[in-house]
Amino acid sequence: MKDGPAIANVAALIGDPARANILTALMAGKALTVSELAQEAGVTLQTTSSHLSKLLGGGMVSYRKQGRHKYFELASHQVAGTIEALMGLAADSGHLRTRTGPRDEALRSARRCYNHLAGTAGVQVYESMVRRGYLTVDAADLSLSTAGRVFAENLGIDVVRLSKGRAPLCRECLDWSERKTHLAGSLGRALLDYMIADGWVKQDATSRAVSFTARGRTLFNDIFPVLDAV
């Protein structure tokens, strides 16, 4: 056998069920400890430790040490993007168990993607903002207009602070269930944070799904109305 191309290494890294569980758990964007990841993956602590060192060696994850805890997270947005691409492939190619049960329905409807809102709700946010001119799409760049800035600040989001951060303020992110663009970047993150803080949504403890409260859904549709394309 020829020495396999580099691609095989990283794919094999993702291809193990336990590691895939770890990575999908990290897709939510929250940093998790080894123990928490062991729980998610359904294997013992030792096994998880071994998997994490492999993922680390492959540049898929990074960690911060804090006291006697080790918080792992995805190494880059590129990693997250690649995993989303694989999810997209897995979704249609074969094994149609992705559309089974109400829980997956919930996932398709609204979920965290890395750290922002995805699913139909995420797409609704994006399109609603684009169509009102709050977000302007230019070449491959997405930016917040003056009107959009006012809009965000009315929600109590500190745009100035966000735009000083290292992460881009607005970024497009392709939704694997909707196959449409939704809003990522620090603004996307801030919007989801806001919805959580203001009690619009509740996060599912075991999955990436988020569910709207009755009040939250009303406010959501009010503030991010579905509009026709121009």
Partner DNA sequence: TTCATAGTTCGATCATAGACGAAGCATAAA
Partner DNA sequence: TTTATGCTTCGTCTATGATCGAACTATGAA
- The conformation of residue 224, written as its DSSP 8-state character, comes to S
Q: Taking a C-beta distance cutoff of 8 angstroms, is the pair 50, 56 a contact?
A: no
| Partner whose binding site includes residue 57, from DNA, a copy of itself, none (CB under 5 to 8 Å by kind) | a copy of itself
Dist. CA 85–CA 11, nearest whole Å: 12
- Tell me the number of residues near a copy of itself by CB under 8 A: 55
| Partner whose binding site includes residue 52, from DNA, a copy of itself, none (CB under 5 to 8 Å by kind) | DNA
3-state secondary structure of 136: strand
Near DNA by CB under 7 A: residue from 10, 18, 106, 196: 18
Smallest distance from DNA to CB 160, Å:
34
Smallest distance from DNA to CB 33, Å:
4
Smallest distance from a copy of itself to CB 86, Å:
5
* Range 77-106, binding a copy of itself (CB under 8 A): 78-79, 81-83, 85-95, 97-98
* Of 119 and 216, CB closest to a copy of itself: 119
Smallest distance from DNA to CB 66, Å:
8
Measuring CA to CA, how many Å separate 224 from each of 76, 132, 134? 29, 10, 11
Applying CB under 7 A, the span of 13-21, 96-104, 106-114, 207-215 interacting with DNA comes to 13-21
Near DNA by CB under 7 A: residue from 11, 53, 85, 206: 53
Dist. CA 139–CA 219, nearest whole Å: 32
Q: Does 133 bind a copy of itself (CB under 8 A)?
A: no
H or E stretch at 69 = strand 69-74
Q: Does 51 bind DNA (CB under 7 A)?
A: yes
Dist. CA 224–CA 125, nearest whole Å: 6
Near DNA by CB under 7 A: residue from 6, 68, 214, 228: 68
Give the bridge partners for 214, in sequence order. none
Measuring CA to CA, how many Å separate 130 from each of 44, 81, 203, 210? 46, 22, 26, 23
Helices and strands, number each (H, E), in the chain: 11, 11
Near DNA by CB under 7 A: residue from 45, 85, 89, 137: 45
Residue 24 exposure: Cα atoms within 13 Å on the Cβ side: 20
* Range 2-21, binding a copy of itself (CB under 8 A): 2-21
